[in-house]
Structure 1
Amino acid sequence: YHPLRGEWVVYAAHRQGRTFLPPKEHCPLCPSREGGFPTEIPFPSFQVAVFENRFPSFVEEAPPPPEGLPVPAGRALGRCEVVVYTPAHTGSLATLTEEERLLLAWAWRDRYEALYALPGVRFVMPFENRGEAVGVTLHHPHGQIYAYPFVPPVLERESQAFRERPVLLELFPNLGPYVVDEEKGFLAFVPPFARYPFEVWVAPVERHPGPWTFSEGEMAAFARLLGRVVARYDALFGEPFPYVMVFHAAPLGEEATFHFHVEFYPPRRTRDKLKFLAGTELGAGTFVVDALPEETAKALRAALP
């Protein structure tokens, strides 16, 4: 436990041995082929695959911490899963068919329900790291899900904000120039307080604690809009756009006021320049952004018809 920052730090030294950018023929997320390289998926075909991460940060049978530590410590209890979007080795949320994207959205919903049912889990977070610029180690289209035994500090702050007032519901009527795209019941927008030049949020216009309360129509609209956001990113500079995508759903006990949303953090600030977190961001927690949110929203709107 970090006593000055009031947050937990998770140590998982075994992750140093995880697979790092293997060639296509040795991809562990492709379907297994007869006589071929054995992968994590023992089937010749699949649609969406979900399995426990071989290099997890949290496990259901975590060992106790060493004795005698000078700060509070605990077991890293929880679960980490890999979600493989497609059997194809290349592609993205943008290139999946509408049916494939919708099936993936239902898989996320299923895992939310299953993981929140585990003893001790207080927060569940699906996410995707895309591109070497954000440290991805496997190029096959996939994401991950972490089930935490505590509520991480970002979600603690968001939960408190939503308990005090309906922040997003108050924001939506004033988004105007910040809107990037929309679907029935959903908005994609660059937040007026964006910390990354091309940061985008996707949220339902009515409050939902998480996708588990979406109707079938809302699930379809949500999946379509996620795909179009990624398509706009890729069209912006005419090449795959790196990002971190994170789902923010209600932590356990916050369902009455939390407003589900998805946040995209892209590291690019121009075609050939990255936004690095440096002194003011890491040392003070204050972001300095090199572009105005309304201008990046305009660029993303123009990226696709």
Structure 2
Amino acid sequence: MLYIQDLTKTDGRSLTLYSRRPIPRGLEAPSPDREPLTANPHLRWHPLRGEWVAYAAYRQGRTFMPPPEYNPLAPTTDPKNPTELPEGDYDIAVFDNRFPSLSLSAHDPPPSIVDTLPAAGKCEVVVFTQNPKVTLATLTLDHMELLFEVWGERTRALAANRGIKYVLPFENKGVEVGVTLHHPHGQIYAYPFVPPVPQRMNSHEAAHYRSTGQPLLQELILAELKDGARLLYRGEHAVSFVPAWARYPYEVWVAPIQAVPEFAKLRPEVRADLARALKTTLLKYDGLWQRSFPYLMAWYQAPSDGEPHPESHLHAEFYPPYRSSDRLKFLAGTELAAGMFANDALPEQKARELQDVAVSL
């Protein structure tokens, strides 16, 4: 059972609470600042790359490494120093980002020599738990399943706006990837277009489906299962593996074995096994060097255009910044300038390192 409570913050932003248990009524939605932030981001067209770039100069003032005694993502305990969340019995919270790169209220972009548009989308913060001392890896399997349900519910809610074409949940973990708040949380970006990476991915998936009648990633996963050399988790319904085409040394993908286009379409048994695959991956990361492992985790799903997408295959991609225990993988000339990744290690080698890490769920 998923219990949901919608609230409005003192500065006008929305807050939604989720729980496996009934959520107490009468909770008030606090905000660190009672005055609403005027967010008016805009897009400029990159004519040579054929893609949009978002501009939101006010994001320079967003919260950066606050002192330990003030955690803006923890529940409010002192009404004189409100945080983003209320006290109360709930499991996961989602609220509008105070410093969004995309905003549904965006309007009147400034003139430029290139095409411009209002950056009309939405940016949300997903607080995984009230406990600041845990990570996604240490959450219970049931809590992970709840998170999948929340991502699905948020995708549905955001896609109800006809201007939203793609919903991307992700998590940045660790200072190495630019995290400014250590409380376990992720974000959701809802775009007014399908961004370049998922658009290119979906284009290849659609072409393959038209020619074969089969989802591309599903075929690749079946090949990975048959090969077995790069598998980290193999369940009845879900899998975790270092892909044969990995661009990062410790890149890992997590997915249902059979193609599911989006979170909301996950059957309960698939969602449960996907949680086991995700937790196994995260524990192996942390156990590799016996420390909390940084990464970018992105969940790709079907476009939110109201059309069926049998070619799409929900999955997570992990991009860890390290190439060894003490060396970062920097994106340099060939990656940034040419768009071709150069991996310093074979996927099979890195998969063996992660396979050797014993974990207990």
* TM-score, normalised with respect to structure 1: 0.96
User: For 2:234 and 2:122, how far apart are their aligned partners in 1?
Assistant: 33
Residue 207 of structure 1 pairs with residue 223 of structure 2: no
Shift of 1:47: 1.0
C-alpha deviations, 1:92-134, integer Å up to 9, x for none? 1211122222221211111011111113000000000000000
How far does the alpha carbon of each residue in 1:166-212 deviate from its partner, in whole angstroms, 9 at most, with x for none? 32122123322111112321111111111100000011111111111
Instruction: Please name the residue that 2:302 is paired with.
Output: 250
Q: 1:234 aligns to what? A: 286
Pairing 1:1-305 to 2, within 5 Å after superposition: 1-34=45-78, 37-67=81-111, 69-165=112-208, 166-175=215-224, 176-251=228-303, 252=305, 253=307, 255-305=309-359
Find the counterpart in structure 1 of residue 37 from structure 2: none
Deviates more, 1:233-242 or 1:209-218: 209-218
Give the conservation status (yes or no) of the 8 Å contact 2:237–2:269.
no
Q: How many residues align?
A: 304
**1:197–1:268 contact (8 Å) kept in structure 2:** yes
Deviation, structure 1 residue 59: 0.7
- Which deviates more from structure 2 when the two are superposed, residues 276-285 or residues 218-227? 218-227
Q: 2 CA distance for matches of 1:100 and 1:256?
A: 28
Q: Where does the alignment leave 5 or more consecutive residues of structure 1 unmatched?
A: none
In 2: Cα distance, 1:254 partner to 1:72 partner: 31
Q: Which runs of 5+ in 2 are unaligned?
A: 1-44, 209-214
- Of Structure 1 and Structure 2, the greater helix share is in 1
* C-alpha distance after superposition, 1:131-189 (max 9, x if no partner): 00000010000000000001111111111111111321221233221111123211111
Q: Is this contact kept in 1: 2:222–2:257, CA < 8 A?
A: no
Please list the CA deviations of residues 210-248 of structure 1 after superposition, one character each: whole Å capped at 9, or x if unmatched: 111111111121122212211110000100010000010
CA distance in 1, matches of 2:129, 2:146: 10
Deviation at 1:259, TM superposition (A): 1.3
Assess, with a 3 A threshold, how the Cα gap between structure 1 residues 53 and 45 changes in structure 2: closer, same or farther: same
**1:273, CA displacement in angstroms?**
0.5
- Counterparts of 2:175 and 2:280, CA distance in 1: 22
Could you list the per-position Cα deviations for residues 58-89 of structure 1 after superposition, in whole angstroms to 9, with x for gaps in the alignment? Answer: 1111022112x111111100111000011111
* SS, match of residue 121 in structure 1: coil
Distance 1:36 1:196, change over 3 A: farther
User: In structure 2, how many angstroms separate the alpha carbons of the residues matched to 1:192 and 1:128?
Assistant: 23
**4+ residue runs of structure 1 moved beyond 3 angstroms?**
34-37
Hey, what's the Cα distance between the residues in 2 that align with 1:5 and 1:254? 29
Q: Deviations over 1:2-47 (max 9, x none)?
A: 1111111001111111101112221100011146731000224531
Distance 1:46 1:22 in 2: 24
Paired amino acid for 2:254: V
Tell me, yes or no, if the aligned pair for 1:24 and 1:89 is still in contact at 8 Å.
no
Q: Which structure carries more relative contact order (alpha carbon 8 Å, separation 6+)?
A: 1
Q: Which residue of 1 aligns with 2:41?
A: none
Other structure's SS at 1:246 match: strand
1:302 Cα deviation (Å)? 0.8
| Change beyond 3 A, Cα 1:198–1:287 | same
Higher fraction of strand: 2
Is the 2:241–2:351 Cα contact (8 Å) retained in structure 1?
A: yes
Distance 2:68 2:156 in 1: 33
Q: Matched residues in 2 for 1:13 and 1:212: separation? A: 34
Q: Share of identical aligned residues, percent?
A: 49
Q: Which amino acid aligns with 1:292?
A: L
Answer yes or no: is the 8 Å Cα contact 1:187–1:204 preserved in 2. Answer: yes
